[in-house]
Amino acid sequence: MNWDLFPQFLATGLLTGGIYSLIALGLVLIYKASRVFNFAQGHLLMLGAFITWWFTENLGWDVWLAFAAAIGLAILAGWLVERVALRPLIGQPILATVMMTLALSQVLQGVTILAFGAYQRSLPYLFPIQPIVLGDIRLKLNLALAFVLAMLGFIIFVLFFRFTRAGLAMRAAAEDHQLAQSVGLSVPRIFGMAWAIASVVATVCGVLLANISGVELTLSLIALKAFPAVLFGGLESIPGAIVGGLTVGILESLVGGLPQDPALRALHLGDIAPYVFMLIVLWFRPDGLFGLKRIERI
Amino acid sequence: MAIRLAGDFDTSYAHDMAILRNRGQWVMLSVFLIGLFALPFVADGKTLGLLNIIGISIIAAHGLNILLGYTGQISLGQAAFMAVGAYTTAVLMKYGVAFWFALPISGVVGGLIGLLFGLPSLRIKGFYLAMATLSAQIIIPWFFRNVRADIFGGTPGLTIVPPRLGEIVFNTQETMYFPIMLTVVVCTLVAKNIARTRLGRALIAIRDNDLAAEVLGIEQFSYKLRAFFISAFYAGLAGSLWAVYARSINPEQFSLLNSVWFLGMVIVGGMGSALGPLLGASFIRILEESTVQLAPALSKLFPQAAAGMLAALGPLVFGIVLALFLIFEPRGLAHRWELLKAAWRLRPFAH
């Protein structure tokens, strides 16, 4: 065991976990509002990164401007997805919505390859890349700033839900669709809003990740890491998304990094640690840390 | 409700229970089966290749249908259980076990691993169970990629020698067609009959209302586990056939994407019907093949997107078709077929 590297792996895991939390936030937003678990979140993320890349490459825009434009498009994409794909399935069993988001992920995959090609692209850096050194710990500046940006995003969303009318309406719809409707809120519009916001969050994650690992199709797979995070935190809980994301990030980094034995390292245990963790969570506490316990009646 | 033919009276319990109720159906089935097994003597290798892939997909889809269609449990791990079957066959054959023994053993090993990942179904269901099977879909290929590369071959995977039976070597599309189709026929027969037994009815009861089923004395956990075992058993058989068909396997062949495609086949075909997987797997595979055929032509039309055309068309068309089925015909092709049959029997009347 590389115990002397423990703080290093802890810090790296924490920073990666920040991005997982932001992906998890997107999942929680949609689930809270409409009881749909979005398996296509990773593909929305990938699409956002590719669109940003396209703006910088083909129109020669500054990366921050391209980022803003991609966020604008993401609002449109999220709203469109809800309107076209998910709205007809309101009231259908959970399987239908799960399958619809899986179908959506395939469509987005196809669209991305058609529009941008299946090549790895690179995005101009949002932040300067230079290592920052804190005692024994060396961190990449872009990862650290991505973490800061992710946490900033979190604070914005928490404030949004707490202090704006739209946020209040979304919380009301999450509580009970019929009650929300009876006080005059348009539930389908709230669903649309939730998807639009989740799509924006996905784009932010996509661009942050693209700054670290490049723009490529495998970006969509990173969202799979957010699934254990969401389940651990609880499907309906925004604080849970942070806690879950950070836990999964740290776990992955520690399990992958700490073992010193080369045979053990060759196993790439970090790849499956989040999923083994998810199985354990499902077995002992399926509702997660802060999730709602469901009581069933016949 | 199925409409029975006029003049077809049930004169015994056996007749009431029969799947094939009159001579016409016997004749049609016999002609179909003879046609099915006579096909390799007339069709070319390319068609047979497509049929072989369809056959293997049908077996895996049948298994998934028992879990999803009859029991109502979502599984995102069918491809992983196929991997278990494929690797079991590959390793057994490496140590000299004949394929004909390795095939059923692969089914059982696949089933046991499926049972293991079905255990969380004691406490969770629906979407949460989908998550448990998703972790199977990630952990199992990881296992074959990283653990004991001397046995499982690591990332490059394993190659398999073609099976033999006496003088016959099964190394062409024509020869592989027979074991695959024979397994498909047996699997379809078993799948059709499972739904008509106590087991099948218990599974359907769990799907429709698990609490009510439990109150009626159906032990939920044990029946769910049986469904998981059967489902993964079918996947193991499909994987075993895939291993000797492809003759080279690696963990990439059994990705999450493949599991999603199997789910798509079951939904497009129609859940909870033995006909569904047959129709769904054929439909999706033929669709996939036609996108492969269409890609070069489309690349000429849109040269700027030519590079990714082949990789993009498959998922794009599959996603759109699946979405359309979910919105407009969630009961799938099998339901359409039933409607068509009823309309034919009632003609010239509308009702």
Greater pLDDT, B117 or A142: B117
Residue A245 pLDDT > 80? yes
Of chain B, the percentage scoring pLDDT greater than 70 comes to: 97
Residue A183 pLDDT > 70? yes
B153-169 pLDDT, tens digit per residue, is 878 878 888 887 877 87
Q: Span B322-332, mean pLDDT?
A: 90
Best of B128, B215, B284 to substitute, by most chain A Cβ atoms within 10 angstroms, is B128
Contact (CB, 8 A) for A240 and A234: yes
Q: In the structure, what pLDDT confidence band is assigned to residue A297 with cuts at 50, 70 and 90?
A: low
Q: Which residues of A touch B212 (CB under 8 A)?
A: 298
What is the pLDDT, as a whole number, of residue A93? 81
Q: Does the pTM of the predicted model rise above 0.80?
A: yes
Q: Domain locations in chain B?
A: 33-256
**Is this complex's ipTM strictly greater than 0.90?**
no
In a domain, A107, yes or no: yes
* A131 three-state secondary structure: strand
Of B123, B139, B317, nearest to A286 by CB-CB distance is: B123
Q: Where are the alpha helices (DSSP H) in chain B?
A: 13-17, 23-38, 45-65, 78-94, 99-118, 127-146, 149-152, 173-194, 198-208, 210-215, 220-246, 256-269, 275-301, 309-328, 332-346
Count residue pairs from A and B with Cβ separation < 8 A: 134
Residue B3 pLDDT > 80? no
According to DSSP, the β-strands at A131-134 and B168-169 are unpaired
B316 contacts A111? CB cut-off 8 A: yes
In one letter, which amino acid is A166? A
- Residue A259 CB contacts under 8 Å (≥ 6 apart), including other chains: A1, A2, A265, A269
What is the pLDDT, as a whole number, of residue B321? 93
B264 contacts A115? CB cut-off 8 A: no
Around Cβ A225, how many Cβ atoms within 10 Å? 25
Q: In the structure, what pLDDT confidence band is assigned to residue B1 with cuts at 50, 70 and 90?
A: very low
B37-68 pLDDT, tens digit per residue, is 888 888 888 888 899 999 999 999 999 999 99
Q: Span B135-152, mean pLDDT?
A: 87
Mean pLDDT, rounded, of chain A: 83
- Among chain A residues, CA nearest to B268: A99
Residue A14 pLDDT > 90? no
Q: Which residues of A touch B260 (CB under 8 A)?
A: 102, 105-106
In a domain, A97, yes or no: yes
In a domain, A43, yes or no: yes
A98 contacts B127? CB cut-off 8 A: yes
In a domain, A1, yes or no: no
Phi-psi region of B147 (alpha: psi -120 to 50; beta: other; left: phi over 0): beta
For residue A95, what are its two tokens?
């399987």
Give the residue numbers spanning the domain of A197. 13-224
Contact (CB, 8 A) for B82 and B242: yes
Query: Of the ranges A9-13, A161-165, A177-181, A289-293, which one carries the lowest mean pLDDT score?
Result: A289-293
Q: Span A175-199, mean pLDDT?
A: 86
Contact (CB, 8 A) for B254 and B82: yes
Domain count of chain A?
1
What is the pLDDT, as a whole number, of residue A148? 86
Residue A66 pLDDT > 50? yes
Instruction: Calculate how close chain B gets to A277, using CA atoms only, in Å.
Output: 9
Residue A159 pLDDT > 80? yes
Residue B13 pLDDT > 50? yes
For residue B282, what are its two tokens?
């054929």
Q: Span A262-288, mean pLDDT?
A: 82
Instruction: Calculate how close chain B gets to A272, using CA atoms only, in Å.
Output: 6
Greater pLDDT, B297 or A44: A44
Contact (CB, 8 A) for B261 and B318: yes
What is the pLDDT, as a whole number, of residue B305? 66
Of B127, B308, B314, nearest to A118 by CB-CB distance is: B308
Residue A144 pLDDT > 60? yes
Best of B135, B287, B301, B328 to substitute, by most chain A Cβ atoms within 10 angstroms, is B135
What is the pLDDT, as a whole number, of residue B2? 60
